[in-house]
Amino acid sequence: MFCNYCGKQNDDGVRFCTSCGKELQPDIPSSTVQQQPYTQQQPAQKQYAQQPAQYTTQQPVQQQYAQQPAPYTAQYQENSGAPVQIPGNFVPDPNYVPPVAAPVPVRSNPLLGIIGAVLFGLIACVVWVLIGMLGYIAYIGGLLMGFCTVTGYRIFGKKFDVYGIICCIIVILLAVFSCNVIIETISLFMGEGGAEAAQLLGFDGFFDVLFNFFSFASRADMLLGLAGMDQSIMGEFILNTVIGYVLSGVGFLICAIPQFRARNVAG
């Protein structure tokens, strides 16, 4: 009996082929079925070995995902510090709005701010007195006073807050007052007969008049009134001080308002 699959001749009565293992079919009489010409077939294992492989070795899952381009978006690019390679077919979302970083809060240092306001206030005082000694309009020193105190507190204190406003106002009040006292005393001693008038009123030199200015001014105004003169040292001092406060307040507001609004912004 011949195998219908591999053509191997087997003994009669054998149910399975001794070569390919397929079930043997009994012979069919030639009278019922026309016998077809037989062609020898190759074993099944040889046929599969000769056919080209249809499947290739698959890569591990992680390696496949690593080779595929990730669907990056604009948001991923902004939130990541590393550079991102954008695929060629990337289309940005027109409705995407980039997130706005919240301002970093700034801590103030009131103690250092006070030191900065005083130092810059002293610089403004020196400039104010020099302008007065040179014969120019000393009132412009008031604008400089307001600007310097705010700037000094902002630089040293890192933040111009409510403490900065209070500190700068106190520094401006004291500095404008002191500047006008110094300017009035210098003007008196630089004028004709000023030193003699101070000695006549019982004051010994420039610093004695400077530290006792109000006493000197009241005595001098009394003598000027007795002499029939309309000049008043105290009145001139008060007028100059008021103008100095007004101009210092203007300079303070011009510089303080934007600094106070930006108090929570770092930089």
Tell me if 205 is assigned to some domain.
Answer: yes
The total of structural domains in the chain comes to: 1
Q: Given pLDDT bands bounded at 50, 70 and 90, which one contains residue 25?
A: confident
Q: Please state, in angstroms and rounded to a whole number, the distance separating the CA atoms of residues 250 and 239.
A: 17
Question: How many C-beta atoms lie closer than 10 Å to residue 33's C-beta?
Answer: 9
Tell me how far CA of residue 123 lies from CA of 128, 135, 141, 184, in angstroms.
Answer: 9, 19, 10, 19
Residue 64 has pLDDT above 70, yes or no: no
Tell me if 57 is assigned to some domain.
Answer: no
Q: Given pLDDT bands bounded at 50, 70 and 90, which one contains residue 174?
A: very high
Q: What mean pLDDT do residues 174-185 have?
A: 90
- So what's the pLDDT on residue 96? 74
Tell me if 92 is assigned to some domain.
Answer: no
Tell me if 46 is assigned to some domain.
Answer: no
Helices (H), 191-212: 194-200, 205-211
Tell me if 90 is assigned to some domain.
Answer: no
Tell me if 249 is assigned to some domain.
Answer: yes
- So what's the pLDDT on residue 138? 64
Residue 101 has pLDDT above 90, yes or no: no
Residue 148 has pLDDT above 90, yes or no: yes
Q: What is the mean pLDDT of the chain?
A: 76
Tell me if 41 is assigned to some domain.
Answer: no
Note if the pTM is more than 0.75.
no
Q: Please state, in angstroms and rounded to a whole number, the distance separating the CA atoms of residues 153 and 116.
A: 5
Tell me if 70 is assigned to some domain.
Answer: no
Range of the domain at 189: 110-261
- So what's the pLDDT on residue 73? 46
